[in-house]
Amino acid sequence: MAEGEYGQMKKINAAAFIFLAGLTAGWPGARATSLQEKKPEEKHRPISQERIYRFPPLNVVVEDFPAPGLILDIGGGGEGVIGQLKHQQVVAIDLIKRELEDAPGKPLLKIVMDARDLKFLDDDFSTATVFFTFMYIDAADHEQVFRELFRVLAPGGRLLIWDVIFPKRLDEKKDVALFPLKIRLPGKEINTGYGVEWPENELGMDHYIALAKKAGFEVITQKEHEGWFFLELMKLKD
């Protein structure tokens, strides 16, 4: 299934991914990070403190949620929050291999993959999650990610999104936003921080709702908190 004469990896059923990974890397807990590696790992230059705006800490409570079958977790590297919560139900993808390797928890699979071009068949998952990952994806690519998520979710499937609210940038010198987070899971607390280039314009829940509806999702739940939001979306049954 690796890239070859066809130029790119074919789309494959999620269950087949799990089976192939088990064959090639040992079962259980097999990693499929070598199946697709389009880009080298990112290297970050030191950032001047003068460019960084530190936001007040965000208190994010992530409650357990019902999810039949497999969960596709977009940007599941790093803290691997959804993997820590749902464990062997999770198929975690991330564009950076190192982020997946360093992620704690025991998701079923960790796969290097681009969310703009998911290598899964249509209607393959009942649940997808995006936990503070859209903030790292160029806003111009958000629409394509929503289209891909809609495609791989089965009718009746849910998409859960947690992300930051970017206010309008007033100081042109402060172009890097740092968000300290206190993430509360059932029985566990994670203290971390996310830093990212600060968009020039406001970027909040309304932006994502508009793109979700355009892709075909229906909004089930929308909650705006201090500095962040949560969305529950559904792909309606035919």
> Please, which pLDDT band fits residue 35 given cuts at 50, 70 and 90?
very low
Task: Please report the DSSP string for 91-152 in residue order.
Answer: EEEES-HHHHHH--S--SEEEE--TTS--B-TT-EEEEEEES-GGGS-GGGHHHHHHHHHHH
> Please, which pLDDT band fits residue 200 given cuts at 50, 70 and 90?
confident
pLDDT for the residue 11:
62
| H or E segment and range at residue 221 | strand 217-224
Instruction: Parse the chain into domains and list their residue ranges.
Output: 14-36+67-166+202-235
Rg (CA), the chain: 18
- Between these two residues, 127 and 29, which has the higher pLDDT value? 127
Predicted confidence (pLDDT) per residue in 43-78, tens digit: 456 788 999 999 999 999 999 999 999 999 999 999
Taking the CA atoms of 161, 162, 167 and 173 in sequence, report the sign of the dihedral they define. negative
- Mention the CATH class of domain 14-36+67-166+202-235: alpha beta
